[in-house]
Structure 1
Amino acid sequence: MFSWTYNEKALQADPGANNGRPYQRCTRTVMDTIADPDVQFDEEGVSQYFYKYREVAKQQLFFGAEGQKKIEAMIAELKANQKGKYDCVIGLSGGVDSTYLVYKAKEWGLNPLVVHFDYGWNLELAVQNIERTLKYAGFELYTHVMNWEDFKQLQRAYFKAGVLDLDVPADHLIFAALNMVCRKFNIKYVLKGFNVQSEAILPRTWNYHGKFDLMNLQDIYAQYGPGRRIKNLPKLGIWQRIYYDRVFRLRSFTPLNYFDYDKTLSKQELIEKVGWVDYGGKHFENVFTRFYQGYILPTRFHIDKRKAHLSTLICSGQMTREEALAELEKPPYDLKLMEEDYNYVSKKLDFTPAEFDAVLRGPIRKHSEFREEAKLHALLSKLTRPFLGKKNNP
C-alpha cells in the first residue's frame, strides 16, 4: 500500500538515521548526517563535499580559451580517427544533459550516431523530446530495445534481494549495449553527458560502486531470479571491459566540462531552439528512475538524492543554499503522481499489491553480501598492465 512516510524532521531527531551522531548539516551545502556514514565537518561546519567539489572542478573543468582548446582538440581527434560514417556515439535519454550534448554536437559540426536505449520505462514526453532533438540536429538514431521479459525478471530479482541500488540493472545494460553499438559500427569514441557542475557530489553509500560488476549482478539474479543465468541481455563484465578498453580501444570525452554548463540556461536554450520540454526533476525522463529516486530511496533508505544534486548546483554557483533548502521542504515530486507510479511499477513488474508491499518492507541486504569481481579485477589488472599499456579512458 502506498504511503509517503519520509519525515525529515523525525529523521533529524533519530540517532539511528544519523549513524549514532547528533544531526548536523553542512553550512555551505545541504549535505547532512542522515543516511551518510562518511560525512565529516570542519570546525566551521563545512562538509568534505564542498571541498571535494572544488578539487574535482579544478581538475576537470575547463572554461574560456582553455575549454575551447579542449573542444577543438576533441573534434580534431574524432575527425582524424573516423572509421566510417559516424565520428562518435552519443547516448540520448531525452533528459537535459544528453539533449544539450546532442545540441552542441550539431554546433561543433560533428556527425554522431545517436543511440537510445528503450528498456520499457520511457515517458511519452521523453520520446517526444528525442524526436524533436533529432529533427533539430538532423542526426541518425539507433534504438536498442531491451528484451523486456528478461529485463523485468532482472529488476524483480533486485527488488526481492533487498539491495539499495535498483538502478544497477539499467545502468549496467545501457553501457553494455552502448559498447556493443560502438563495436557494431566500428566507432571508437563516445561523448558522455556527465558534468561536474551538476553531478560531482554523491555520497559513496548512496549507490553501488560496482555498476559493471557482472559477477554481482549474476549472483543476485541466480538467487532471486527465475534461472541461474541471464539470457538475451547485453553484459559488461570484467572480460568485456578489458576487451573494449585494451583491445577495441574505446575512448570517451565529457565535453560538457569544457565550457560553463549552466543547467537552467541550457534548459531555456533547448526549450527555445529545440522545443524540448522539462520533466521537473533530475533523471525523471523515465517512470522507474523517478519512482526509485523520489520514493524508494527516501522511504526505504532515508536517502534524498536531491541533497547531492542541489549541493552540486550550490557549489557551481547555479543555486543558493536558501533556494536548495526551500526545495527540500517539498516532496521530491507530486504525491498523487507518486502514488500512480507506485501502482504502475508494481503492476508492470508483475508484483501483486501484497508482494510489492512486502519487498519494499523486507530485509535490506548489502550488495557486498553477493559475489563481487573485486579480487579478480585486482589480479587481472596486475597481470595485464605490463603487456597492454595505458588505459584509453581518462
Structure 2
Amino acid sequence: MEAKTSSWKFKAIDEHQRCSRCVLDTTVSDIWFDAAGVCKYCYIHDEMERLHPLENMEEALGKIVKKIRKAGRNKSYDCIVGVSGGRDSIYTLYLARKLGLRPLAVYFDNGWNTETAVSNIRKATDLLRVDLHTVTADPDEFRDLQRAFLRASVPDADIPTVYAIHSVLYEKAAKENIRYILHGHSFRTEGTSPISWTYMDGRYIKDIHQKFGSGVIRSFKILTLPWLLYCVFVKRIKEVRLLEYIEYNKKKVDEVLKHDLDWVYYGGHHHKNLYTNFFQSFLLPEKFNIDKRKTELSALVRSGQITREAAITELEAGSYRYERSVVMYAIAKLGLSLEEWEHVYYRAPRSHKEFRTYLPLIRLLRLPIWVACKLRILPYILYLKYASP
C-alpha cells in the first residue's frame, strides 16, 4: 500500500490565498490547498506527527538511543552531530550527551560565521567534553560557488553551505565508520521548507557551478547520488533528527543552553552566519518575494506554540528587517563590484526546474523511496518533500 499522501485531495488555487490553518500562502509556487483551505505543508506536518507522536516519544527515543549505542560499541564515537553554533545544533549536541551518547561534533567553516556562533561551539564542546572536528572551506573556492548561485538567479543561494554541511558529515561518518548522524532540525519549530524555495542535490550544484562558476571544488566532496547510495546502503549511515523525539520549545531551550553552556543568542533565526543573514533577511524577500518567517511561524502555529493570529500580526507588522552594513559586507566579501552586484540582483528570478537535478529520477523512483523510508533506511521527510505529489 502506498503512502497516505497519495490520496491527498486539493483544489485549484485562487489568485492569492493563505492557508486556513497556518500562514503559508501562494508566494509558495508549489503549494496546494484542500477543500477546507488547508495547505500541503500542514498535511506534511500531520504525517510527521503521526510518525513521531509526542505521547510515545520517551519509548521511541529510548529505542533509537539503544540502537545508536549498539552500533557504536567499541568505537570512539557512536554518532556525529553537525554544529553551527545555533540553538538547534547546540541543543542536539547537549541532548545527545544527556542521553549518554558519545558524539563527535563536526563544524563546517565556510568563512562567514559570526564570532558569537564560533564561541558557542567552543564553549559547548568544552563543557560537554566532546571532540570537535572542523572542516574549513577554501575561501576563494567557496565564494566562487556562492557567486555561481547568485548569478544563476535562483532562490537557493544558501544551498552551497547547507549541502556542504551534509557532505562533510557523511564523509566523516564514512571515514570513521560511524553509522548515525544526528541533525538539529525539528518540523515542530522550523517546518518543511517549500521545494520551490529551497532545493538541493549534487547534480543541481554541479550544473550551477559548471555554468556560472569556475575552477574545481576540492575542499569538500559534492554529495552525488552514487556517493549517497554508497553511504546509505554500504556504510549503513542513517540520519536521525533527534529533536523530533522530544517536545521542543525554543524559549525553554534558550534558558537551558544559557544556564548550562553559557550559550549566546545571535539576534535572528540563522543570523549566526553573516551570509545566511544577508541572504534570508535581504536577498530572498527583496528579490524573490520569499519570507522564510512564514515557514517557521507556520510550524509554531501547527505545534501550538503561538496562535495563527499572532503569526499574522508579526508578518503584517513589517517585512523582514535587514542591516545595510551586512548587505554591503556580503557584497564586498563575495568580491563583487557594485556594478556586478546590480547585474546579479536585477536578473530575472529562475527556478531549480531550469537546471539539471535528480528530481525527475526521484519522482520516477518514488515507490522504492517510499519503501526505504518505511524501513527507516531513509528519512521519511525525503519522500514527503521530494517524491510525493
* Structure-1-length-normalised TM-score: 0.85
Which residue number in structure 1 is paired with residue 344 of structure 2?
A: 359
Deviations 1:216-249 (A, max 9, x none): 222211111124x434431100111111011111
Mapping of residues 43-122 of structure 1, within 5 Å: 43=36, 45-59=37-51, 61-64=52-55, 66-82=56-72, 83-122=74-113
Query: Equivalents in 2 of 1:98, 1:146: separation in Å?
Result: 20
Of residues 216, 231, 237, the one that matches 2:224 is: 237
> Does structure 2 retain, via aligned residues, the 8 Å contact 1:35–1:301?
no
Query: Equivalents in 2 of 1:313, 1:378: separation in Å?
Result: 30
**In the alignment, does 2:304 pair up with 1:317?**
yes
Supply the AA of the counterpart residue of 1:345. Answer: A
Of residues 256, 265, 278, the one that matches 1:278 is: 265
> Does structure 1 retain, via aligned residues, the 8 Å contact 2:77–2:178?
yes
Query: Equivalents in 2 of 1:67, 1:313: separation in Å?
Result: 19
Supply the AA of the counterpart residue of 2:260. Answer: K
- How far the C-alpha of 1:381 sits from its partner, in A, is 9.4
| Distance 1:306-1:380 versus aligned 2 partners, 3 A rule | closer
Deviations 1:104-141 (A, max 9, x none): 11211111001111011101110111122112211111
- How far the C-alpha of 1:317 sits from its partner, in A, is 0.8
- How far the C-alpha of 1:23 sits from its partner, in A, is 3.0
| 1:206 partner SS | coil
**In the alignment, does 2:170 pair up with 1:179?**
yes
Of structures 1 and 2, the larger Rg is shown by 1
Supply the AA of the counterpart residue of 1:282. Answer: H
**In the alignment, does 2:225 pair up with 1:225?**
no
Deviations 1:336-362 (A, max 9, x none): xx2111111101110001111210111
Query: Equivalents in 1 of 2:76, 2:35: separation in Å?
Result: 53
Gapped regions of structure 1 (runs ≥ 5): 1-18
**In the alignment, does 2:300 pair up with 1:307?**
no
Query: Equivalents in 2 of 1:20, 1:54: separation in Å?
Result: 21
Which residue number in structure 2 is paired with residue 16 of structure 1?
A: none
Alpha-carbon RMSD across the aligned residues, in angstroms, is: 2.6
| 2:46 partner SS | helix
> Does structure 2 retain, via aligned residues, the 8 Å contact 1:250–1:393?
no
Deviations 1:365-392 (A, max 9, x none): 2222222234566789999999xxx773
Supply the AA of the counterpart residue of 1:357. Answer: E
Which residue number in structure 1 is paired with residue 357 of structure 2?
A: 372
Of residues 203, 218, 236, the one that matches 1:249 is: 236
Which residue number in structure 1 is paired with residue 33 of structure 2?
A: 40
Deviations 1:313-356 (A, max 9, x none): 011011122321232213323x4xx2111111101110001111
Supply the AA of the counterpart residue of 1:120. Answer: G
> Does structure 2 retain, via aligned residues, the 8 Å contact 1:238–1:377?
no
Of residues 145, 162, 170, the one that matches 2:153 is: 162
* Structure-2-length-normalised TM-score: 0.86
**In the alignment, does 2:283 pair up with 1:264?**
no
| Distance 1:158-1:314 versus aligned 2 partners, 3 A rule | same
| 1:197 partner SS | coil
Query: Equivalents in 1 of 2:44, 2:173: separation in Å?
Result: 33
| Distance 1:140-1:286 versus aligned 2 partners, 3 A rule | same
| Distance 1:54-1:380 versus aligned 2 partners, 3 A rule | closer
Which residue number in structure 2 is paired with residue 342 of structure 1?
A: 327
Query: Equivalents in 2 of 1:244, 1:201: separation in Å?
Result: 24
Give the fraction of aligned pairs with identical amino acids, expressed as a percent. Answer: 33
> Does structure 1 retain, via aligned residues, the 8 Å contact 2:25–2:31?
no
